[in-house]
Amino acid sequence: MPDVARNIEIKAKISDWQKLYQLVIALSDTPEEILVQKDIFFPAQNGRLKLRIFQDDHGELIHYQRENTIKAKESSYIIAKTTEPLAMQAALSKALGVIGIVEKKRLLYKTGQTRIHLDQVAGLGNFLELEYVLSPREDIDIAKSLVADLMRYLEIASNDLIANAYIDMLL
């Protein structure tokens, strides 16, 4: 049985893409990674269930739970990788039905334990996500403090923050 992973995350609307992009590039420990993602959401009794398709031969089934709140929040998740995402999509769609689909281009950067996502979401616009990946016994308050520091550096104000997932905003 895979372990449940945890992170602390925030999501924010981007008003000045170019300025934020430059700040992120200066901060990142890694080169830019471009990901084209299609997330298909399925009904779930607890939390959310989505199949993320990167390509026809690469995807991840992700179950996660987190609050819908604008503050930095803990998310717990399990990821199951697949080399047959289209077959998995067909099986899950037939068995469960589909809630909705989110399509996005994601620019991925990393600094320390934080994944920085600059997302261009079809039908919604441009967003930033910060995901600080927690180690198993790491103090959540320290992680939230580090996320707050990153938000200050990236000039993300509290009124830029968004509580809901992209799928909620699309529906």
Instruction: Quick: pLDDT tens for 95-148.
Output: 999 999 999 999 999 999 999 999 999 999 999 999 999 998 899 999 999 999
What domains does the chain contain, in order, with CATH numbers?
5-170 (2.40.320.10)
Question: Which amino acid belongs to residue 74?
Answer: E
* Segment 69-90, tens digit of pLDDT: 999 999 999 999 999 999 999 9
- In this structure, how many other beta carbons lie within 10 angstroms of the beta carbon of residue 86? 14
Is residue 131 a contact partner of residue 7, using CB atoms and an 8 Å limit?
yes
